[in-house]
Structures are given as structure tokens and as C-alpha cells.
């Protein structure tokens, strides 16, 4: 097992995934149950569980087990139902896609300060 990969996944997850998960949680269950540190813990424990599950189980079953484990973490930390945990996960993915799209546009020079100076 490569520990540096897991540590890298945790660090990137905290920087990228935790804010999106926190925003999605605040949107779905409210600010009283969705705390930022809960999102950080979900991200950290999710990365560790993904590594452990991936090491012992292979294939599609591992992916399904990792998904269920992630939903359980969201359900437990945000004190919500399985359905709300699923919706929070979907909204977090949509937020991440939006952020990546904006970053790609800025990176390609299609948007941002350079774009507006061209006109």
C-alpha cells in the first residue's frame, strides 16, 4: 500500500472536496448540522476507507462498497437520512464540476482578467 498516495489524496480532498461537501451539506441540511470540520472528517475518513476497501476488495464490488461507506460517513456526520446523504453527494459533485469548469476557463484564458482586456 502506498502511503504517500493516501496522504496526497487526503490533502487534495481537504482542499478541493471538503469545501464542496460543506456547501452542499449547508444547502441540504442547514448550517446547524453541516459543519466544515465534519466535511474535513468525511473527506479524510473517506480517503482512508477507499484505500482499505480497494486493497481488500477488487472490481465493481469495491466501488459499490466505497460509495456506500462514503454515504454512511455523510449520513453519520451530517445526522441525516440515506436519501439526503445521497443528494448531498450529488450536489457536492455538481459544485466540484462547476468549480473545475470555471478554473479550466480561467486557465485557458477564455475567462478572467486577460479575456476582458481583449475587448
The residue ranges of every structural domain in the chain are 3-117
Q: Is the dihedral of CA 46, 85, 15, 61 positive or negative?
A: positive
More confident residue, 114 or 8: 8
Q: How far is residue 53 from each of residues 28, 75, 115, measured CA to CA in Å?
A: 28, 19, 45
Q: What predicted TM-score, i.e. pTM, was given to this entire model?
A: 0.80
pLDDT recorded at residue 112: 58
Q: Which helix (H) or strand (E) holds 33?
A: none
- Residue 79 pLDDT grade (very low, low, confident, very high; cuts 50, 70, 90): very high
Question: What's the average model confidence in pLDDT over 18-39?
Answer: 93
Contact 74, 65 (CB under 8 A): no
Mark 21-50 as b/e (b = at least 16 C-beta within 10 Å): bbbbbbebbeeeebeeebbbbbbbbbbebb
The answer, yes or no, to whether residue 108 has pLDDT greater than 80, is no
pLDDT recorded at residue 114: 56
The answer, yes or no, to whether residue 86 has pLDDT greater than 60, is yes
Q: Is 81 left (phi over 0), alpha (psi -120 to 50) or beta?
A: beta
pLDDT recorded at residue 110: 66
- Residue 103 pLDDT grade (very low, low, confident, very high; cuts 50, 70, 90): confident
Amino acid at each position: 500500500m502506498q502511503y504517500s498516495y493516501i496522504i496526497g489524496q487526503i490533502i487534495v480532498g481537504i482542499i478541493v472536496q471538503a469545501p464542496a461537501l460543506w456547501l452542499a451539506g449547508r444547502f441540504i441540511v442547514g448550517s446547524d448540522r453541516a459543519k466544515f470540520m465534519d466535511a474535513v472528517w468525511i473527506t479524510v475518513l473517506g480517503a482512508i476507507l477507499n484505500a482499505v476497501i480497494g486493497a481488500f476488495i477488487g472490481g465493481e464490488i469495491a466501488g459499490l462498497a466505497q460509495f456506500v461507506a462514503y454515504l454512511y460517513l455523510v449520513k453519520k456526520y451530517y445526522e441525516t437520512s440515506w436519501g439526503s446523504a445521497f443528494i448531498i453527494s450529488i450536489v457536492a459533485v455538481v459544485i466540484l464540476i462547476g468549480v473545475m469548469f470555471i478554473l479550466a476557463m480561467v486557465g485557458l484564458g477564455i475567462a478572467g482578467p486577460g479575456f476582458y482586456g481583449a475587448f
